Structure formats: structure tokens, C-alpha cells
Amino acid sequence: MRREHARRAVIVAIVVIAAVALMPSPAAAAESTESVYREPDQVLIDIVDAPRTPTVSLSPDRERLLLMTRQNYPSIEDLARPELGLAGQRINPANHAPSWTWSYVRLAFVRVSDADERVVAGLPEDVRVGNVKWSPDGSRIAFTNTTADGVELWTADVERAQAMRVLGPNVSLTAQASPTWMPDSERLVVCLVAEPGRAPVLDVPGAPSGPTIQENLGEESPARTYQYLLENEHDEELFEHYLTTQLAIVTLGGEVVRVGEPAIVWNFDPSPDGRFILVHALHRPFSYLVTARRFPTAIQVWDLDGNVVHEVADLPLRDQIPIARNSVADGPRRVEWRPDAPATLYWAEALDGGDARVETEERDRVFLLEAPFEGEPVAFATLPLRYSRVLWGHEELALVREWWWQSRTVRFWKVRPGSPGADPELLIDYSYEDRYNDPGTPVTIRNAYGRSVLMTADDANTIFMIGEGASPEGDRPFLDAFDTYNNETTRMFRSEAPYYEMPIAPLNKEARELVTARESVEEVSNYFVLDLADGAARQLTLFPHPTPQLVGYTKELIQYERSDGVQLSGTLYLPPGYEPDQGPLPMVMWAYPREFKSASAAGQIGDSPHRFDRVGWWSPLLWLTQGYAVLDGPTMPIVGEGDEPPNDTHIEQLVASAAAAVDEVVRLGVADRHRIAIGGHSYGAFTTANLLAHSDLFAAGLARTGAYNRTLTPFGFQAEDRSLWEAPEVYFAMSPFMHADKVNEPILLVHGLADDNAGTFPMQSERFYNAIKGHGAVARLVMLPHERHSYRARESLLHLLWETSRWLDTYVRNAEPPDDAAGSGAGK
């Protein structure tokens, strides 16, 4: 697939293929297939070009906010630069960095005490900031600046709001590692380009030395459908060259001390006391079937001279992990430093061989090993479900999280690190799909090492929990105090209408003051400090409304029922100025189904009527500006209670959910039954195609970057963990490609030619289009050069909206009622 992409990458204009049925005349045909980028209505252009609301980060000492403004959309020329796709990594060979990541172009600090804002000075005019990290003491931030020739390391002093370059451009970002602070806040650990003077030949040699050979000696090695894998020895050489780096420690003055020899350092982490570095280093033999994160990995502890003082494990190639959910690799995994100790490792190991299909009472065990890493690891906790993580507090309190996908179970066990023999106490036990009873997430705070640990009150037993607060009236975020000794909860804050207000962090151990992000339907999210004693609020940021073109629309959370009794919901939007006496409107529905094990959980409300909607190219709310009503996120749950797999009745439940949504908006008088489009992205595109194939509910479809033939993802997809050979009838029934002859409504297919998402390779849309075309249906295929699973170039985005606007106006706004207009269209 990567070779096919490389061939297509020479295309410099958009490829647009249309079905003949779409073109009423030769002149129109010439216009609609011209290979140029088009632009939509100016109001849509203005929304795409709207300034970004900054991303916000709270300092470790909770005295400053860092405001980070993201760059606008890049040009297609930016995306067309050369890249290498190697074992799942997409690399720009010119600068040893990812070929594309979103960057920040403006930084500012806001003082929490008085909201004083200072813009960071000293940044280059064309700065591309990434990998931002606070120093442990909160006095500085470190970040990278990616240039055309390489990556630089920079820092900024918080008090002076002044940036300075530390070194570069010789920092490498080709793996998962990025510059990381040492605990003294005066040095950083970085990966440097190992051989900056040598560049390998990028083209495949014309005369290979022999065939490319793969062999399996009887081991089960199922794998998901990955993109950009290694394909031959030349790829292996390129991978080794670009991912081999030199680990180094760098002072703020730019002094470099190399640590050890060059290696394929996948990730690293200095110990909390700064004496050691935990290194994950990849090595041969590589694989042509899985991505780099599953390559053989040596997990080692190095001293600051690069000597290996301990090897936790040398993991083999991990290409035999079963596809069943909750299956993991055998051997040590999630190897980390304990954040509340100077230099203690902890990790988990599977007791079931990593196979979730094995019936056992003990699933995982967590181990500890303290420096100097001598003797046997100490068993810290044995778990009946799959290990997730540990939240460390102090010697008398840590929380071990486990989970199990098949039952949707999440549990937190209270353990006492200072008493290894003490029995763990089950503290929290719930289903993660039961949002109404979700207790929230424990609040953490940075300790003296700069590491995240549980935030506890003065009694050392009470922790704080922040949650979405799902309820029948919508999400109402909360802050709770949870006494882990008495197992008692006290509510300290809950969001109140007309706002959606999310707690960010308490400012002190007793949580008397709370930083929140507050928004409403017409007010973008801004940051406040709340005094929980008297409710007084002090505003910290003043972000403006980014899309004033949409001020005045109406928003309503609607609820309705599926034919089998499952409760459904969706968010209904009507254009600014709409009055009921105007009658029903054309409508866009935007959907994405989810699987559930419980019908009651499937019927829970999953949104808030008070949230501010961030609208961009991806949002169906764009079409409010064009006079369409929008039903966003109509729930389409696929329920399989007990041992019943949800997907065994996927199509029936999908169509029933869509029919209920259509009936409800028609009953409300806001939508014309015969002028409704269904659309979605990725699994939503797959849903769109299935609804057109198996119902006559919709006038047209908008399908972006989907997978339509499930036989091309034979080892599972989405929440389906059975293989094609275990459930062939399910794969066939759920594949729109297999039912292309039933698609008789116009469908617009859009796909990025460089899509690297597992399973949604571009061929999915191409072959589905060909199948539809072969049966004489109305279809249009738009392949966007250089675009991935989500689109980025401004030219691509504007052209996408031009295509969509044209499609909606032609086949939805101006649609004629079908001959059987009296029918419901719930099935074919």
C-alpha cells in the first residue's frame, strides 16, 4: 500500500472521479471533474479560517496558565513534502521529525492570582512549537521548534516570559521520545540525530539482491490491517538509519553530554531522583506485518554514563498477540518509574499468557523493583482483571486500576505500598458504559520530583474526583471529595445551567478554590477561579467567540425511543432566525454508532444542552449557515446483552435507530422526511453506506474516509474481536461493499490518499465506488492527495466543503419526493 501511495503522491491536484449519472451534460461533466481545488460559500471559508481558541495548560505549582495558540491549516504544498512511511512511523527525512504534526505559533503565560497575561517573547517569526513540557519546579517550559532543516530545543522562562534556543537543529523526533526534564529543572534528556552528516539513498535500488521472503513456522500471528509497514531490506535500512539516535543530557546553556552509544531509542524516562534513565530500545529482527511498537525491545536501566545497570526484559517480536480485546503481550509491560520514590520500577505481567480467552481467576500481577535493582522483583498486587495503571499517593495509599472489556468493568483497588503483605481493598467497581454512575477520575498533583501523584487532603485519606457527571438532564461535571478510609463521598461542586463548567484542578489541598473551564451555548470555554465557599468567580481568560457567523442558532437535546424500546437521543440544531411557521427544513444527520452490553446504558444521555459547539470543517453544524437543520450524534447503539455479540444484529439495530431518528424530527416538524442526508467520518462513513444499502430513509449520503469491505480487515475491526473465519456471516452482512447493488441513493465518497488509519486504506473507497458505479447508482469519489485519516490542507478542506455543499443542494435541498412517498423507508 505504501508503494501505491508513493506513486499517487506525485499528483499535485485533486483527483475527482464522478459517476456518469451525476453529469447531466458534457459541459457540466467537464466542469465537475476538472482537477482543480474549488472553494465554497464565503461564510464557510470564514469558518475554516477562524482563529483558534488557545489550548491551556496549568503549571505544576498551579500559579500560571500556559496559553498555546495552534497554527492555521497548512497548504497543500506543506503536505506534499517528501516523507518516509516506515513501520507505522511517517518521517520527514530532511529534518528527522514526523512528516506532519500540529504546532503552536504563539505562547503566553497568565498568572492565576491576578489574570495578568504576558506573551512569550524571543520566538522565531515562523516558529513551530511542539512537545511542550513544564519543568518540575514550574519555573520554565521546554519545547521543540521544527524547521525545514531540523528540530531545535528551546526553553522559556515563566517569570520573564522570554524564550531562548538551547541547541539544534539536531534533535530527533522520529520515535516516540521527546525532550524530557531532569528533576533538577536545569537539564533535559534528549535524543539527537546519531549521524547528521550521512543521508542514505531514499530510492529503492533498481536491482534487488533477491526476493523478499517471510516465513511462519506454525505460530498463530493474527494482526490488524496496518499501513506503512516495512516491505524489504531497503526499508529496514532506512528505519534503522532514521530511528537510531544518540541519547544525551543537555544543560540550559546548551552543553551536551552524550549518554551511551547510539541506539533505536523508542522511549526513555529519567528516574525521579535523576540517577538513572529507563530506556526502551528497539532492535532486529524487524517485522513486515506489525508496526514498530511491536518490534523486539530491550527494556533497560542506564546510568548517566550509558552503562546498563539492569535489564528488565528483552522482549521478542510481539506479533502473536491474540486479537481478542484485553489480550496483551506476554512478559513485562507498562514498565515505569514509581513517581513517589527515588528510583523504583514497577510493571505488570500477564498470568494468562496475555490471552484474554483463557479462563482464570488471576489475570495480571504488578511487580516492584527498587534500586540498585538486585534480587527478585516484589509482587505488589495480583489482579483478577487486566491491569491498567497505578495512581500513587504515599506509603499508605495507592490505587490500582483494572478493567475488562468483555464486561465493561472498571475497578480501583486500594493498596498500601508501605505494607506489601496487606490485602488490597476494592474501592470502586462500575461499568464504564454506565455513564450515570461513573465516579470520575482521581485528581493528581506534581510532587517534589515533578511527577504526578494523588492529590490528598490533610487527612491523607481523602482524594478528589473529577467527572463528566452524566445524568438524564445531560452532562453536569463535578468535583467530589472521596474519603478512601470510610468510603464516603462529599460533593464539592456541580455544574449548573445555563453553563457547562468542567473542573480543571483544585488550587489547594482542601480544594477551597477551583480552576474551571466554563462555557455555554453562545460563550466559548474560558477559564475561571471559583471560591467554593461563596461561589464567587474570577475570570482568567477572555477568549472571543471564534465563529460569530453561527450566533443565534437553537440547540435542543431530544429524546425518543427505538422500536425495541431502547431509549435514544440526539442534539437538534436549527438555523439562526428559524421560526416554526417556516415549515420543515432539509436536514443533515451526522452519526457514529457504538456497541453496548446493556440496553439501559445504551439509552443514557451522553451530551449537554449547555455546551459550546466548536465548529470547523469537520462539523455538520456548518450547514446551519446554508439553511439546513442538523441532528448531530443521533445515538445508534448496537446492543448485545449477556453472551450475545452486538454485531450479530448490527444492521437491524442500525436501521431501527435511524428510522426512530427520522420519525422524531419529522414528528417535531423541523425536517422534511424526503430531504434528509446521512453522513459520517470513518466508522460513521461505514454507517452511512450501510444505511443507504439497507434502508430508504435518506435522500443522499456523505461518507468520509470509511471502510466498506470488512473482508479486508479479517482479524477484527472496531469493537468486533472475532475474525472473518470465526464469524463470516457477520463480516458479510456488515460490509456495504457486499450490498452495493442495493445502494440506490446518491452517495459522496471522500478519502485521503495517504490515510494511515488501520483498516481504512484508500482502496476501500475506490473499490466501493467501482461497485456502486457498476450497478448504475449515482456516486462521486473524491480522493484528496497527501491527506490522512483526518484532513489538514486548507485547499483540501475548502474543496471538501464545496463538494458537500454541491451534493446537498443537488440531492437533498432540491430532492423530489419518491414515488412511494407515503412509506417510512425503514427497510429495503
Q: Which residues are catalytic?
A: 682, 755, 789
Contacts of 555 (CB under 8 A, 6+ apart): 521, 571, 572, 573, 609, 613
Task: Report the distance separating Cα 330 and Cα 323, nearest Å.
Answer: 14
Strand partners, 704: 681, 750
- Of 367, 135, 93, the C-alpha closest to 239 is 93
The vertex-148 CA angle with 147 and 151, nearest 5°, equals 40
Cell 416554526, residue located: 580
Which secondary structure element, helix H or strand E, spans residue 678, and what is its range?
strand 671-681
Amino acid at 822: A
Strand partners, 29: none
**Is 492 within 8 Å of 511 (Cβ atoms)?**
yes
**Is 281 within 8 Å of 298 (Cβ atoms)?**
yes
Amino acid at 373: F
Q: What is the dihedral of CA 506, 533, 537, 114, to 10 degrees?
A: -60
The vertex-463 CA angle with 377 and 333, nearest 5°, equals 30
Task: Report the distance separating Cα 641 and Cα 597, nearest Å.
Answer: 5
Task: Report the distance separating Cα 584 and Cα 127, nearest Å.
Answer: 49
Q: Could you report how far apart the first and last alpha carbons of the chain are, in Å?
A: 35
Task: Report the distance separating Cα 697 and Cα 270, nearest Å.
Answer: 57
281: cell is 530500545
The total of other beta-carbon atoms located within 10 Å of residue 132's CB is 18
Contacts of 232 (CB under 8 A, 6+ apart): 204, 208, 212
The two beta strands, 594-596 and 637-639, are parallel
The total of other beta-carbon atoms located within 10 Å of residue 822's CB is 7
**Is 172 within 8 Å of 192 (Cβ atoms)?**
yes
Task: Report the distance separating Cα 816 and Cα 699, nearest Å.
Answer: 9
The total of other beta-carbon atoms located within 10 Å of residue 197's CB is 5
The total of other beta-carbon atoms located within 10 Å of residue 743's CB is 25
Q: What is the dihedral of CA 609, 613, 618, 620, to 10 degrees?
A: 50
Distance of CA 263 to the CA centre of its chain: 29
Contacts of 305 (CB under 8 A, 6+ apart): 259, 260
Task: Tell me if residue 330 falls in helix, strand or coil.
Answer: coil
- Of 620, 633, 562, the C-alpha closest to 591 is 633
For 506, list phi and psi in degrees, rounded to 5.
-65, 150
Long-range contacts of 154-161 (CB under 8 A, 24+ apart): 154/123, 154/129, 155/252, 156/107, 156/120, 156/122, 158/59, 158/64, 158/109, 161/108, 161/109, 161/118, 161/119, 161/120, 161/121
Q: Helices 650-667 and 683-694, interaxial angle, to 10°?
A: 80
- Of 110, 99, 125, the C-alpha closest to 68 is 110
